[in-house]
Structure 1
């Protein structure tokens, strides 16, 4: 938190974005930047003009569809995605298994694994996990916001519990079992041949000061997040899952954390559940950026996209291992990081 910059960007003053914060921020940022550059900005409603042919969702509420035009041309946008991205690319990006197939075909490293459906037995799932090699990751084939993602599973019992939760509690049939790659999770944003932004996604955490309890530290950090236009809707929740994770590390919400000690509150790095976006655009090795660019090129019709990847530093070289692509990505964490 030492490097927080609450001045942000000179053309994005708080009064301009007070009604477009959190997950609603992305379309506004894109539209505002086009308008700032002298383009004509027009907001649209569902199924108007070119949007009848574009993949969109949850657009009954205004503020997600817009166009930017000059004298020569006009382009249409759904949130952060422009009309040069094909519907086929969007469909592939939403399907984690199809994404893996395309990445592997083009030689882009991605975790090894296999897709399963509800029709396949738990015993078969255990065979797949043994083939992949523990620890494994279990996640829905089509999902977002970290919903139903279980990482670093080391036993058959935990594997079965995870699958039952996804398929029975969340009522999601198709899942992927894949190898667990150690490393830090990042989101890179690629436009054409260039990475234009990158952030480390650090799981929700607090740092002790020797005085405040864990609960108080969470409250303090949430107050800081409320001052960030993107993170105002991404507060750390003090729910049973959080409490259980804290207790596994020998603490409770009432514990006073020693000064300087960092306590992680979850093993999921999603910004939407309280994770910290930390800007690392200038720090990431070019080799990792090249992997992200190659991943986007592996999908036909994809000209810009977010790339979620693990930075694996366990070997002789730093490697990027692609987890998934998001053609309609949230960029608020890249523009308004927690640090950087």
Structure 2
């Protein structure tokens, strides 16, 4: 099930000049909460900003506080979702498919798990966001040691999982419903027969800078990219043959230069149901971005899907400004659900008092 094969549109959707205002506002306000605040104001709310990521929307004498795109989530739910090991446990208990793996508190344990599961592995910190500390495609003993040290910064162990084949998607669930889905592809360049990899990256960054979501997620040539190129017997000065595609990183995180493709209408309902169940597995979580891997070559539909992570700050701008495909106004869905839930909660409390 390779939804990228059905992609329509140019490599990078052109952002109309009317979005210049958004770029100006992004100097003081983060994109996600900015989009929600605009929907709140359009709905008659008075918005007061507290910081770059926080604002209060007052409507019908009700104050609704947002931190990034979050408002209704309980503190306990957000804490659980921030712990990859606890999230994995809750998903397993709910029958949501996850990759084989578990927690390892020592390098010897990681080595034993590799022997049992095979390679390649994904090694992650037990907590963290934006792909920090995650190593993908780990196989060799030296890679294993480096990946363990990188993920075990707090000395409380790491999460080790079998790297599953397939294509990664980010699905946004709000109030028990899927409101947007994006294909995720790791940072890469395609040769033109003339330009070096460094020049191809610069050209891609120029296009990313025109997109409000991707403008803050440019591809940065650091050690990880240089090492990955060396494994392919390349460096940033290499000139690629026309049409040759080279991946700069293994992980498909948007913050690491990943591409975005809207697949909301094409994602099967059975897969959407898995992502809804994944969020429901953490009681008190109203909004989350679910990273799910789909294997287009799986001969068993039950084994084709695997939930990788749940993100409570999912970067909703990617749905409004996908690199390819139709924009989705998920901010409107978030605002309307939040307003409805807050109104219902207040009515319930007033009913108890009366």
1:334 and 2:334 are equivalent in the alignment: no
CA distance in 1, matches of 2:109, 2:148: 12
Q: Is the contact between residue 89 and residue 301 of structure 1 (CA under 8 Å) also seen in structure 2? A: yes
1:178 and 2:166 are equivalent in the alignment: no
Secondary structure in 2 matching 1:30? helix
Task: Report deviation, 1:308.
Answer: 1.2
Partner of 2:192: 209
CA distance in 1, matches of 2:82, 2:10: 36
Task: Report deviation, 1:80.
Answer: 0.2
Q: In the alignment, which of 221, 224, 240 is matched to residue 207 of structure 2? A: 224
CA distance in 1, matches of 2:305, 2:54: 33
CA distance in 2, matches of 1:247, 1:277: 26
Q: Deviations over 1:218-262 (max 9, x none)?
A: 111111111111212211112232122123223322222122221
Q: Is the contact between residue 187 and residue 200 of structure 1 (CA under 8 Å) also seen in structure 2? A: yes
Q: CA RMSD in A?
A: 2.2
Matches within 5 A, 1:241-260: 241-260=224-243
Q: In the alignment, which of 63, 71, 74 is matched to residue 74 of structure 1? A: 63
Partner of 1:107: 95
Matches within 5 A, 1:183-202: 183-202=166-185
CA distance in 2, matches of 1:190, 1:19: 26
Higher deviation after alignment, 262-271 or 325-334 = 325-334
Partner of 2:128: 143
CA distance in 2, matches of 1:6, 1:265: 24
Task: Report deviation, 1:23.
Answer: 8.8
Q: Deviations over 1:123-143 (max 9, x none)?
A: 222223323333221110001
Q: In the alignment, which of 251, 273, 293 is matched to residue 276 of structure 2? A: 293
Displacement over 4 Å in runs of 4+: none
Q: Residues 158, 244 of structure 1: CA spacing in aligned structure 2 closer, same or farther, 3 A cutoff? A: closer
Q: Residues 77, 3 of structure 1: CA spacing in aligned structure 2 closer, same or farther, 3 A cutoff? A: same
1:4 and 2:30 are equivalent in the alignment: no
Task: Report deviation, 1:39.
Answer: 2.4
1:24 and 2:13 are equivalent in the alignment: no
Secondary structure in 2 matching 1:195? strand
Q: Deviations over 1:262-305 (max 9, x none)?
A: 11111111111211122221222222111111101111101221
Q: In the alignment, which of 48, 53, 58 is matched to residue 64 of structure 1? A: 53
1:43 and 2:54 are equivalent in the alignment: no
Task: Report deviation, 1:154.
Answer: 2.4
TM-score (norm: length of structure 1): 0.86
Secondary structure in 1 matching 2:25? coil
Task: Report deviation, 1:31.
Answer: 0.8
Secondary structure in 1 matching 2:30? helix
Q: In the alignment, which of 15, 19, 27 is matched to residue 13 of structure 1? A: 19
Q: Residues 155, 245 of structure 1: CA spacing in aligned structure 2 closer, same or farther, 3 A cutoff? A: closer
CA distance in 1, matches of 2:121, 2:200: 32
CA distance in 1, matches of 2:141, 2:233: 25
1:163 and 2:148 are equivalent in the alignment: yes
TM-score (norm: length of structure 2): 0.82
Partner of 2:5: none
Higher deviation after alignment, 266-275 or 85-94 = 266-275
Q: Is the contact between residue 278 and residue 339 of structure 1 (CA under 8 Å) also seen in structure 2? A: yes
CA distance in 2, matches of 1:22, 1:322: 34
Secondary structure in 2 matching 1:81? coil
Structure with the bigger percentage of helix: 2
